[in-house]
Amino acid sequence: MGPINPMTLFFAAIFTNNILLTNFLGLCPFLSMSRYKKSALGMGAAVVFVMASTTALNNLVYYKVLVPLGLEHFRFIVFIVVIAAFVQLVEMTVERFFSPLYYVLGIFLPLITVNCAIFGASLFMVIRKYDFVQSLAYGAGSGIGWMLAIIVISAIREKLEKTAKLPRGLEGPAITLIITGLLSLAFLAFSGMIRVQ
């Protein structure tokens, strides 16, 4: 694979290879958090920040520590620990210095540790052999793509709740999945624009 321009990668991660809509990652928090726009926004912002930082951080850890030591097989454990430690650190910093922000983001941060999208971004980074700058661009792009999707869906859900009369069985997760499918279909329209694997 030739070197990809980080900028291209950034936009590809948002639109053509949206981590939620094409790779199904981060669906659990997505389904539970997309009820209201406000919580979707908070969760989205937290994901963007953590995903960009941890993907870049894991890139450093993988190529500077694990590969020289020949410990590639332990990357799953190491990545998880890095993510958990990073989230913990961010949580403490935010709580100490930016307490208003803490009330907005606070409850979302611990949830992020088990967000598959964050971990998934790090794994894709290894498989696709991104360098540091590419990982940063990829992480940030994926985070923004995730945020975009969750905000769109939450806006649709809020609107639906007010106006539409749904069959009772369809309420909640079922309709959310179907809307997500439609959104994913819409995002497929971007797929010819940039080819990045």
Partner 1 sequence: MQPKKQIFLTGLWKDNPVLRQILGICSTLAVTNLMINTLVMDAGLIFTVCMSSLTVSLLRNVTPVRIRMMVQTLIIASYVIIVDIMIKAYLPDISEALGPYVALIITNCIIMGRCEAFARHNPPLSSFFDGLGMSLGYSLVLIAIAFVREPLGFGTLLGFRVLPEGFVHWTVMIMAPGAFFTLGIMVWILEHFRLQSGEEKG
With tokens 């819409």, the residue in question is 186
Tokens representing 163? 């106006």
Nearest distance from residue 32's CB to partner 1, in Å? 8
101 or 174, CB closer to partner 1? 174
Instruction: Give exposure, 25-52, as e/b (b: 16+ Cβ within 10 Å).
Output: bbbebbbebbbebebbbbbbbbbbbbbb
Q: Is 64 in the site for partner 1 (CB under 8 A)?
A: no
5 or 159, CB closer to partner 1? 159
In contact, 87 and 108? CB cutoff 8 Å: no
Q: Is 194 in the site for partner 1 (CB under 8 A)?
A: no
- From the list 41-49, 91-99, 135-143, 172-180, the region that binds partner 1 by CB under 8 A is 172-180
Nearest distance from residue 100's CB to partner 1, in Å? 27
- How far are the Cα atoms of 3, 5, 83, 118, 180 from residue 134, in angstroms, in the given order? 9, 8, 19, 16, 28
Q: Is 142 in the site for partner 1 (CB under 8 A)?
A: no
Nearest distance from residue 136's CB to partner 1, in Å? 19
Tokens representing 119? 């971990």
Q: Which residues bind partner 1 (CB under 8 A)?
A: 21-28, 31-32, 73-74, 76-77, 80-81, 84, 113-117, 119-120, 123-124, 126-127, 167-170, 172-178, 180-182, 184-185, 188
